[in-house]
Amino acid sequence: MDHARERVGRLAIYPGTFDPLTNGHVSLIRRGCQIFDNVVVAVAADTPKTPLFSLDERVRMAEEVFAGHPSITVEPFTGLLVDYVERRGANVILRGLRAVSDFEYEFQLALMNRKLKRHIQTVFLMTDYQWLYISSTIIKAAASLGGDIKGLVPENIYRKLREKYGYPYPLGDDIDLGLGGAGGLGGKGGSAGSAFGAGLGNGGFLPRSLGAGLSAEGDDALRNGGLDSDDEGYGGGTPPMAPTF
């Protein structure tokens, strides 16, 4: 059997909001390329939240990250995820899992997607242990308070986050990166505008369990493909007819 020929054309769709793309996402996408010939990073246009970055910005930043990787394509999409996957000529949705809380939600989402389109399969990869604790939401919360998130996101996204929140790039010496106490991770101040931001800004860890946070994030994945892929393709979702991301 010609195994090389057998592999030709294997395409996976990795959906998410990517607001912003993190190194957890990047790790999973690159690992996906070891299994599939091509991976499409599908950036969801619909979201119930107000994204920090516009759709064009999110697509452009991801394209910069994967420039020079011919097996990785970045493109936006709207509507029901399984419809997009079908239009793209694929039958695999690639997702990431960090914890048990992810699995419960992703299990339901995968079954619903299978109900809608039985020929489309969901493939899960466990996130690399070094990225277990990060998500786009936590990254934004830390960055909004001046925290140094360098090394947790690609360099171009690190720069964009610093600029978006009005902090110097490269990181200025006047940023207080102390953990614990009022304003832990706090820089020049500002508000994260979320429970995550409150938890970081007050020196706490998370104001609610990570599982609860992910469940709250996950009211929109059927349409856009995942839990705020906000987390290594670890999804989020809502009913198929009222989706977002």
| 8-state DSSP, 125 | E
Q: Residues of 3-22 as b/e, b for ≥16 C-beta within 10 angstroms?
A: eeeeeeeebbbbbbbbbbbb
Question: Is 159 part of the annotated catalytic residue set?
Answer: no
Question: Is 136 part of the annotated catalytic residue set?
Answer: yes
The one catalytic residue among 136, 160, 162, 229: 136
Question: Is 31 part of the annotated catalytic residue set?
Answer: no
Q: Which helix H or strand E contains 94, and what residues bound it?
A: strand 92-97
Measure the CA–CA gap between 196 and 243, rounded to whole angstroms: 23
Outline where the chain has alpha helix (H): 3-7, 23-32, 55-65, 81-87, 100-116, 136-144, 155-164, 195-201, 210-217, 221-224
The one catalytic residue among 58, 95, 98, 223: 98
Question: Is 88 part of the annotated catalytic residue set?
Answer: no
- Measure Cα distances from 121 to 77, 92, 128, 203, 234 in Å: 19, 5, 22, 42, 16
Chain centroid to Cα 195, Å, comes to: 18
The one catalytic residue among 10, 30, 31, 49: 49
Q: Which residues are catalytic?
A: 25, 49, 98, 136
